[in-house]
Structure formats: structure tokens, C-alpha cells
Amino acid sequence: MRFDRVEARQVTKIYDRHRALHQVNLSLEKGQVMALLGPNGAGKTTLLWMFSTLSTPTSGTMHFGELPPDRAKEARGQIGLLSHSALTYGDLSGLENVAFFGRLYGAADPVGEATRLLEDFGLKEAQERPAKTYSRGMLQRLGLARALIGRPSLVLLDEPFTGLDRASTRTVIDRVHQLRQEGAMVLMISHDMETTAELADATAVLVRGKLEGVHQGRLDTHALRARYAELTEGKKEAVA
């Protein structure tokens, strides 16, 4: 079931006695790339988990298209997630990994689609090798291929450029542009201001679990840094 809007409404998340998110309101529309910025420990990854449905709010609701909040888990097949780790099996080859998840997502031709994705991400030569032999950058691209095998409506990227060289970074940037053109929503956590400025249609800044501001529209690197500094100054560590 594809959806063209996601929204967090008054979302609060409390772990034990620690409040990771406090009454966050955030929405993404079809074809939008949103950058989620904030200092370490701001709650960015927690919010990403909320959008992935793998974590549920302590209070507030998550909305995926027309689905009622209590049926949010039905959106799972339409969400692609790239986490800090690739979420792949080290003893399976790159191709086996992506094809395995393709089968779980009901792909018509899992091996064919996996092969095409791996080729897109420059992993064709290495596709038969066990994933445990991949470099950090290769694993990151493999994780992205895995995340996209289900043709998701919502793509969640947690630091997607970590460990990537310039060429791989360009590959990922181009893919995010393509996802936008295809109408997917992309929510991306990144500390890389230049790449964020190039990709983001909107920017949200989270500090200590509270959404300090959402800017709709593009910002160049300079304006993005200034905006970030303005919202985070004196509240937590400075931007890297």
C-alpha cells in the first residue's frame, strides 16, 4: 500500500526516565527530501525509528498516508531504512542479501532486481562475495540497495554518507535525486552540511528531543550552517 504523506503528531518518546522526544510535529509530502539535523543525542535516530514503525511513541501518533495510527505497521513494506549498520548478513553474498530481502518484499524477480540495484550502486563486481569482505563504503551502498529493493514510498537514511568516498557519495546523491523524481519521500539524518544543502527540500532541526525549527525550501550551505547555528547555539555542541 503506497502512501504519499507521513506525519508525526505530538510525538513524545520516553525511555525509562529519559525523554528522547518531546511533542514533535513533523510531516513529509510526496517527492520531498527532508534533512533532519541536530547535535548528538538530540533524538534524531529515535525520530527516524518512529517513522520506521520499529519504535512506537509513548504519546502522540504516527500517520502513514490514510492508515489509522493503530494500523501503522501495515506501512512497513513501503519503508526503506538505512541505519548505522547495513542490516545485511555477513556470510551471504551481496546478491544473496538483496535478493533475500527482495523475496520478503514480494519482488517479482528478486535476483534480477537485486542485480540491477547492485549494478546501480557499483557493486556488480563484488556481488558474489560475502558481505563480510566488503569495505565500510561498500556495505553502506549494499545497505542502500537492500533498503530500496521494496520500492519504498518512504526512505529513511541515517548518516548515509558515512564512510563513502567521493564517487560513492555522488552515486548516493544521484539516487536520492532519482527517488525524489519518482515521488518517494526521503528523511535523512546527516552532519554533512554541503551534501544536505544539495539534497534537502526542507530542513528540520532537533535539539534535546524538541523540534526547534522546520525550514521549507532549499538552503545553500552557508544559509544552512547559519540556520543550524542559530537554532542550536547555546543549547548543545556546535556544528561540526
Partner 1 sequence: MSPERSVFGTLVDAWRITEKDLLVELRTKEIVLTMGYFGFLVVLIFSFAFFQDGATISSVASGILWVSIAFAGTLGLGRIFEREREGDCIRALLLSPIPRPSIYLGKALGVLIFMLVVEAVVVPSVYFFFNLDLDRTRAGVLLLTVLLGTLGYAIVGTLLAAMLLRARTKDVLLAVVLYPLILPVLIIGVKATGILVQPEPVWNELSLWLRLLGLYDAVFLVASLWIFEPLLLD
List residues binding partner 1 (CB under 8 A).
52-56, 73-74, 76-77, 79, 81, 83-92, 96, 100-101, 103-106, 130, 146, 150
The CB-of-169 to partner 1 minimum distance in angstroms stands at 22
CB nearer to partner 1: pick between 103 and 170: 103
CB nearer to partner 1: pick between 38 and 110: 110
Query: Each residue of 58-90: b (16+ CB within 10 Å) or e?
Result: eebbbbbbebeeeebeebebbbbbbbeebebee
- Which 8-state DSSP code applies to residue 137? H
The CB-of-130 to partner 1 minimum distance in angstroms stands at 8
The CB-of-91 to partner 1 minimum distance in angstroms stands at 5
Asked if residue 32 lies in contact with residue 186, where contact means CB atoms within 8 angstroms, the answer is: yes
CB nearer to partner 1: pick between 33 and 86: 86
Of 10, 6, 79, 18, nearest in space to 43 by CA: 18
- Scanning the structure block, which residue is given the C-alpha cell 501495515? 74
The CB-of-108 to partner 1 minimum distance in angstroms stands at 15
The CB-of-37 to partner 1 minimum distance in angstroms stands at 23
CB nearer to partner 1: pick between 39 and 150: 150
CB nearer to partner 1: pick between 92 and 214: 92
Alpha-carbon span 44 to 93, nearest angstrom: 31
Query: Each residue of 100-127: b (16+ CB within 10 Å) or e?
Result: bbbeebebeebeebbbebbebbebeebb
